[in-house]
Amino acid sequence: MIENYKPTYIVEAVYQLTPDMLKNKGIKAVLVDLDNTLIAWNNPLGTPEMRAWLEDMKKANMPVVVVSNNKYPRIKKAVEPFGIDFVSRAIKPFTRGMNIAKKRLNLQPQEMIMVGDQLMTDIRGANRAGIPSVLVKPLVESDAWITKFNRARERRVMKKLVAKYDMSYKKGI
């Protein structure tokens, strides 16, 4: 079913999600993919924009948890400088990682939002977990080798979604 891959929202970048915007939707925490969503997969240092976004979330008491299929050492190295929590080996599109984050945060699925750049993993996993989702544009056009397979499938699914729904990128939710 094509609906399994339909995001709740479509936004150009995670940095466009403001604490007020999220709180107005009843969101109390942000789950976010790492590579090509929070940081470019080939730039683990992030950008000033990403650091400012994380600071805004922190000031608003809006927890951010990275939920990634990457290994523990890779994620720890990437997020440790920013002091944010993470779940490694999330096994998206399965719900394992999101369920771990949900238990840590002690929140209901509708009180969180999952932000990611891939329909096949991030959005599908969020839909399975009952968590609202946000599809964002990948930060860079190149992907790690393992992601290239998913992107080919994703293009076919996205064409079907676009034909059935308004799938244009917005500036917010």
- Does this model's pTM top 0.85? My answer is yes
The radius of gyration of the chain's CA atoms, rounded to the nearest angstrom, is: 15
Residue 119 has pLDDT above 80, yes or no: yes
- What CATH number is given for 2-164 in this structure? 3.40.50.1000
Peptide bond into 93 cis (omega under 30): yes
Higher pLDDT, 41 or 101: 101
Residue 86 has pLDDT above 70, yes or no: yes
Q: Sheet holding 133-136: strands in order across?
A: 9-11, 133-136, 112-116, 29-32, 64-67, 85-87
Q: Hey, what are 145's tokens?
A: 């080798």
* Contact criterion met (CB below 8 Å) for 27 and 115: no
pLDDT of residue 143: 54
Residue 98 has pLDDT above 90, yes or no: yes
Alpha carbon 11 to chain centroid, angstroms: 11
* Contact criterion met (CB below 8 Å) for 54 and 19: no
Q: Is residue 170 very low, low, confident or very high in pLDDT (cuts 50, 70, 90)?
A: confident
pLDDT of residue 113: 98
Residue-wise pLDDT for 13-39, tens only, equals 999 999 999 999 999 999 999 988 998
Residues 6+ apart with CB under 8 A from 69: 89, 90, 91, 92, 97, 121
Higher pLDDT, 157 or 50: 50
Q: Is residue 114 very low, low, confident or very high in pLDDT (cuts 50, 70, 90)?
A: very high
Q: What is the mean pLDDT of residues 99-128?
A: 96
Q: What is the mean pLDDT of residues 89-103?
A: 96
* Contact criterion met (CB below 8 Å) for 170 and 10: yes
- DSSP 8-state secondary structure symbol assigned to residue 140: S
The domain spans of the chain are: 2-164
CA distance 147 to 141: 11
In sign, the C-alpha dihedral spanning 46, 79, 91, 21 is: negative
Residue 48 has pLDDT above 90, yes or no: no
Q: Hey, what are 20's tokens?
A: 């007020």
3-state secondary structure of 40: coil
pLDDT of residue 69: 93
